[in-house]
Structure 1
Amino acid sequence: MQIYRAILTLLENTYFASREVGTLYESEPLVGNYALTYGLGLCAAPYDWSGPPRYKQDLGPLNERGLYVTPATFLPGKLRFAFSQFNAQSDSYYFRFDQNAIATTPNKRARAANFPQSGKIRMLGLESQAHFYLFSREGEMPLLPGYIRLGKFNSKARVEWERLNLLSEQPREADEELRFFLNAVDLPASLAGKLRAFSIYNIYPAPLLSQCRLAGPFWQATTAQGERVVLPAGMRYGVDAL
């Protein structure tokens, strides 16, 4: 098993449609691991796709290859937000408000539009920094990109990688408190049943957990600076449960 720690630095304001509160569209202070997996190029969806989400088709094969990416957790003091307004209403001489749409032709009803036409957005701000982990089975090392794009606006981000030094070749039983995000549906049954405490972010497509206290098998490793890192063993994309 190879485990890498990555530092993600946002080089542009980055927006994810995490939550809608009236006319405010918010990005939660995190980056989901499914979005990271696509952004890192570990899988790819068709360029032109109008069907349902493809998580099972795209992420499922990574389980067979032994690849897994955790959600990104922002570092203390390294999270910024940026606010912006948008207005997608028509600039035509004539317009009126219909139900869920703006009509631009007199006496002709407009078709309903399933997208916001005005409001405010809260984005993850420029120079925010987060960390996440990548697991790779021996012999399955993927290409580790230095720059990726994330979010609805394809915002640019830098990724710096460090391979961790594993303290043992097999996971060890432990009782740990983790201060980084975990995907609830990606936890193995041996760990999910031993969650003693956690905070939860209910976001699509799967809830993310933070401040977890749990017992079970863990990988134990150190960074080049000697920092101890403990990570749950057996995590995989739980796309069959979505």
Structure 2
Amino acid sequence: MPIIYCCQLELHDSLYYATREIGRLYETEAVIHNYALCYALGLVDNEVYSTTVVEEHSYRYFCPEQVPKYEEHLTPLNQQGIYVTPARAVNHTAILNTWKYANNNYHVEMEKTQRNIPSFGRAKEIAPESQFEFFVISQKPVKLPKWIRLGKWMSKAELIVQEANRINLKTGDFSFPYPLNPLDVMFIHQVVSYDVVNMPPVSLIQNISIYQGQYYELEHPNTSEKLRLPANMQYRFKA
């Protein structure tokens, strides 16, 4: 039986990443993608968790190009039996910040720019003291950091980890309200219904109903709520 950690994040800075762009508004959805959490938790390319990658795709010290390599970086987590779910907001508030790029030169020759760089806009961010929740499933004990950084501004967040007790593996119809990555669920479970959360790099699904699937039944350590977490989830990148 795997170990399941119930993790709570509390923001100590405002959190920003552009989930969607609506004109000059850059909005942050109150959901944290599981890919982002893997990097933030230090699980990627880490000798401690035996998830190192080949030097060509190394992530720890230097990235030669700004091209995501999720498959190369996350496949070692599958091999070590480590899986992180996306995080949902337990409670949160949003704040709006206006920003503007200005040129301080006395004389500026107005030339047509070659790149699409916005000169002003508004960013909708998640405010400090907002709280998120997610799960880490592991085949062996893992020690997670107390503090992590997230988002475009590398915002500081405190991580509180509690190990779930009384985990049972069962089979049947069940539902799960938290967000999940559809690539990691839909190819091993028969998903009947769900709501979509549109965000890059892979849109997430929540309020999921699954027909005759395997799940871990566990008791939430804070609320004593019975949760049914889909079993056998792994990072998948191809249909």
Deviation at 1:210, TM superposition (A): 1.2
1:164 aligns to 2:164 (yes or no): yes
**In the aligned structure 2, how far is the partner of 1:176 from the partner of 1:94?**
66
**In the aligned structure 2, how far is the partner of 1:79 from the partner of 1:178?**
21
1:209 corresponds to: 205
Aligned pairs (5 A) from 1:65-144:
65-75=80-90, 78-95=91-108, 97-99=110-112, 101=113, 112-138=114-140, 141-144=141-144
Structure 1 residues not aligned, in runs of 5+: 102-111
2:64 corresponds to: 49
**In the aligned structure 1, how far is the partner of 2:176 from the partner of 2:111?**
50
SS at match of 1:56: helix
Normalization by structure 2: what TM-score? Answer: 0.87
**In the aligned structure 2, how far is the partner of 1:204 from the partner of 1:198?**
18
Pairs aligned (count): 222
Could you tell me whether the CA contact under 8 Å between 2:214 and 2:231 is conserved in 1? Answer: yes
Normalization by structure 1: what TM-score? Answer: 0.86
Could you tell me whether the CA contact under 8 Å between 1:60 and 1:239 is conserved in 2? Answer: no
SS at match of 1:131: strand
Structure 1 runs (4+) deviating above 6 angstroms are none
1:148 aligns to 2:148 (yes or no): yes
Amino acid at match of 2:65: S
What is the aligned-residue identity percentage? 31
Deviation at 1:96, TM superposition (A): 5.1
Deviation at 1:54, TM superposition (A): 1.3
Label 1:96 to 1:199 Cα distance change in 2 as closer, same or farther (>3 A): farther
Structure 2 residues not aligned, in runs of 5+: 46-58
1:231 aligns to 2:229 (yes or no): yes
Could you tell me whether the CA contact under 8 Å between 2:6 and 2:136 is conserved in 1? Answer: yes
1:197 aligns to 2:212 (yes or no): no
1:222 corresponds to: 219
Could you tell me whether the CA contact under 8 Å between 1:8 and 1:131 is conserved in 2? Answer: yes
1:22 corresponds to: 23
Aligned pairs (5 A) from 1:181-196:
181-187=179-185, 189-191=187-189, 194-196=190-192
SS at match of 1:37: helix
Give CA-to-partner distance per residue, 1:203-222, whole Å, 9 cap, x none. 11111001111121101112
Deviation at 1:88, TM superposition (A): 1.8
Give CA-to-partner distance per residue, 1:24-54, whole Å, 9 cap, x none. 1111111111111100000142433314211
